[in-house]
Amino acid sequence: MKNKLVFGILALATITFSACDKHNGCSRSEKATVFDFSDSDTCGIVFRLEDGNYLEATNLNEFQAWEEGDLVWISHKETAGASTCGLGEVIEIRCVVPREF
């Protein structure tokens, strides 16, 4: 009986820790959707968070090309700089990876 309890606890701990990697290694990330505002004169790719806020990345060229509608996990930090689109927060991307849903 005691062995089953110990095994159960270990199994639960394993599942819990493996579930922490659901963001594909992008720690402290948030769900976002890619929007392409390249049709405007000053905008390009921006990320829309689930709460509706937009993120404008200063270092987007350091990451793979994203297309309109792509779903991603994004980790970022605020950075100084002027918004080129006037849509949202100016950020520096730390990590951005695709997500399924």
CATH at 41: 2.40.50.500
In a domain, 92, yes or no: yes
d(Cα 73, Cα 20) in Å, to the nearest integer? 13
Query: How do residues 11-65 score in pLDDT, each as one tens digit?
Result: 433 433 334 445 677 889 999 999 999 998 889 999 999 999 999 999 999 999 9
Q: Provide the 3-class DSSP secondary structure of residue 93.
A: strand
Confidence (pLDDT) at 16: 37
Confidence (pLDDT) at 2: 60
In a domain, 18, yes or no: no
Chain position carrying tokens 């505002």:
37
Q: Nearest 10 degrees: CA dihedral of 38, 81, 98, 30? A: -130
- What is the arithmetic mean of pLDDT over 69-97? 94
Domain holding 32, by residue range, is 25-98
In a domain, 84, yes or no: yes
Residue 83 banded pLDDT, cuts 50, 70, 90: confident
